[in-house]
Chain A
Amino acid sequence: MNADSYIYGTSFYHRFDVRPKLLFTLLYIIAVFFAESWYGIAGIVLLPLLISLSSVGAAETLRAIRRILPILILLFVFLPLQRRDGTPALVFSGTVIATEEGIYAVIRTAARFTALSMILMLLLMTSRNESIIAGLRFYHLSYNASIILSVMLRFIPYLGSVFSCIRDSMSLRLTEGKRGFPIFPSVTAFIVSAVRMIPDTASALEERGFGRKGRTEYRRLENGRWLLTEFALSAILPLIMLIIFR
């Protein structure tokens, strides 16, 4: 799984200890599911967006958004069609295409998906993999579970990089007079690649000794002077969001 995620930086979020950062990420994910009001929906997207802009900059933030864009487009195309009851908002030849309730539902789902993806991508963009594993070990997760979780966390950015490869590959095949890139072959290719990645990663892990007993623990996290403050901030901020944005 050859996906690049960590971006060098010295921002506030880069310097934030990985242990409170993991706590913040987890609590934020929970808070995201309680956002129901329009303020809440906007708020859950804006916060990770602002952290991203301040820590990795506009270009990388845009790059992260572009990675989830295909899924957002699919959500906006297909989700309103599934919610047909309610006040008609879009009618074509007497057929209700979308209702107000359907549009609200898709915006809420898209916002939650964006917020979740952004907060997880932020974790990966500002923390090295080994720190994340050490952070998970701090919460008494077994080493094997920590490795699996860190691999899973990188699955979305990995899929994003696979999609870029497919897009490039397909764009090199376009014949004269055609624009864009073919959607159905690309989606097929995407699914094939995603499925193929699972045994490849599993065998790479096992061939390098994953699962052996008697492993050496060699990475220890140091306690910085702001650790307690960072823990407090990580717990309070999502709690405030939960109260305000419900």
Chain B
Amino acid sequence: MAEAEITFSYGEGEDIFHSFSFSAAEGEHVLLLAPPGSGKTTLARIITGSVPAYSGGSLSGFVSVCGRDILSLPVPERMEYAGRVSQNSDEMMLFSCVEEEILFPLANLGLAEDEIERRLSSVLALLGLEKYRKVPSSELSGGEKRRLMLAILFAVDPALYILDESFDELSPSWRRKLAGMIHTSPRSILVLGSHELGEYSGVFDRVISIEDGKAGEYRRTELKRLEYRKSLESEHVLDVSSLSIERRHRSTGGSGFTLSVPSFSLRSGECAVLMGENGSGKSSFSRVLSGLLEEKSGSVMLDGRVLSPRERRRSAAVLMQNPYEELFLPTVGDELESTGAAASLIEAALSMFSLEREWYTAEISYGRAKLLQAALFYLLRRPFAVFDEFDSSLPYEESQAAVRAFLESGSGVIVITHDEAFAASLPGKRWEITEGVLHEC
């Protein structure tokens, strides 16, 4: 049904894939688990066509779907054969509202108007997006954007679905729903991931990996519990009191959400885990803590003193959900040097987060971009840091290593995650947002 054997390299560089072979029978569901930088996203892009068309590179081999070598087809003609949900939802957004994003590819397929309307209504209901019909993607949360991307794929319904880290950023309930959708789908589905999730259980027919550019066997690693290595210090205390945050949808005039935080406290070197549904206000809370978003009322205090938004920026780092919202400079070296840290510390951070100074920021994988983001804020040594869904697109051990590095440097860390297994592996209190209120579990 779907079969591929490819060799690919970007420019003059090393082969990303060397006779990489892959196949999926009709209705077969395959899980490909591999670390960041191994070529998962490149594989997805090769199949759908944006690589090498928009990136350059040398590609040989074939990708056959329904008996047709789709590499010989122009990019727009491949959409009936293979479609993907991108790891970075933002790069795929084009239009001014959810409805338009879905209608665009359906109209391009040349479907009858009533079939377009039927598919639109069906996927909006399937992915819980009816109330966002006229809302632009820029006003959606990370998980809602991911659901929109899934809605587009399910609406187009190609022969081969490619889901690039699509479970990440979804809340546990939506992860379970997506697992159910895959399980019952008659289509061939390839899911790309960086770590094994509990929700994958019983969904896939096969699990494969990438090793040195070839298809390999996946080796399971056990998720260990992260413990505090040193006793908790109380150098600084971050307190939040009677905080209220409100966001409105500019495009519809309707309310987006309101979040109330009656009380929240975190000490230096302490870890806190924060969970909640998509769009419940977790990212907005982190932006308020770091002074990037204004609260409606309430206060954020450091050691008992109320902080202005400017002071918060130097007290609380935020590792945003999409790393590319924080990385803009040409190379990894440029990014790290912008912190003003000493050369020896930059070298240490490069080694700690497995990064190369010369790498171009725009060319590194999404997972590595997250590690760069961590290295950047690690060098800034803020008293507190918020990891906003940092674990998505990264193996558990790398996410844990980053959290540990911050804790051991004395920072208090808030980890926002949808992954129950990862949350359970972290020390410290657990907080949750339910019905618009943040409370301790």
Contacts and interface: CB of A to CB of B under 8 A. Distances in A.
Q: Do A and B bind each other?
A: yes
Interface of A: 1-9, 60, 128-130, 151, 161, 165-166, 168-176, 182, 185-186, 188-190, 192-193, 196, 199-212, 214-218
B394 interface: no
Given A7-B251, A216-B112, A196 B96 contact: no
A211 B75 CA distance: 9
A198 to B, nearest CB: 9
A176 B340 CA distance: 11
B104 A208 contact: yes
Given A8-B252, A192-B330, A218-B113, A206 B317 contact: no
29 contacts: A2-B90, A4-B250, A6-B97, A9-B253, A129-B96, A130-B97, A161-B138, A168-B292, A169-B326, A169-B327, A169-B328, A172-B380, A173-B338, A189-B328, A190-B328, A196-B362, A199-B50, A206-B75, A207-B83, A208-B152, A210-B76, A211-B74, A212-B109, A212-B110, A216-B109, A216-B112, A216-B113, A217-B107, A218-B113
A6 B249 CA distance: 10
Nearest to A167: B292
B313 interface: yes
B178 to A, nearest CB: 21
B251 A206 contact: no
Given A7-B250, A166-B328, A185-B338, 18 more contacts: A2-B137, A4-B138, A7-B251, A165-B328, A169-B328, A172-B290, A172-B380, A173-B376, A185-B334, A188-B334, A192-B362, A203-B53, A206-B53, A207-B50, A209-B79, A209-B108, A216-B109, A216-B110
B222 interface: no
A186 B113 CA distance: 46
B251 A173 contact: no
Interface of B: 45, 48-50, 53-55, 74-79, 83-84, 90-97, 100, 103-113, 116, 134, 136-139, 152, 156, 249-254, 290, 292, 313-314, 317-318, 325-330, 334, 338-340, 361-362, 376-377, 380
Nearest to A189: B328
Given A174-B313, A199-B54, A207 B110 contact: no
Contact of B110 (A1, A189, A215): A215
A216 B138 contact: no
Given A129-B95, A201-B94, A215 B55 contact: no
A8 B94 contact: no
B325 A165 contact: yes
A209 B109 contact: yes
A215 B108 contact: yes
B77 A8 contact: no
Contacts of A128: 96-97, 100, 134
Given A173-B380, A210-B108, A1 B325 contact: no
Contacts of B362: 192, 196
A53 to B, nearest CB: 16
Contacts of B106: 216
A2 B340 contact: no
A200 to B, nearest CB: 5
A218 B107 contact: yes
Contacts, number: 168
A4 B250 CA distance: 9
Given A128-B96, A169-B326, A201-B94, A214 B110 contact: yes
A130 B100 contact: yes
B77 A185 contact: no
A216 B111 contact: yes
Contacts of B109: 209, 212, 216
A202 to B, nearest CB: 6
Contacts of B334: 185, 188
A151 to B, nearest CB: 7
B116 A216 contact: yes
Contact of B96 (A5, A200, A205, A211): A5
Given A6-B136, A8-B252, A199-B55, A208 B108 contact: yes
A156 to B, nearest CB: 15
B249 A8 contact: yes
A136 to B, nearest CB: 14
B251 A204 contact: no
Nearest to A8: B253
A209 B49 CA distance: 11
B96 A208 contact: no
Contacts of A173: 338-339, 376, 380
B108 A3 contact: no
A103 to B, nearest CB: 34
Nearest to A208: B105
Contacts of B112: 216
Contacts of B92: 204, 207
A169 B325 contact: yes
A172 B317 contact: yes
A196 to B, nearest CB: 5
A165 B90 CA distance: 13
Contacts of A9: 253
A206 B111 contact: no
Given A209-B109, A215-B108, A188 B314 contact: no
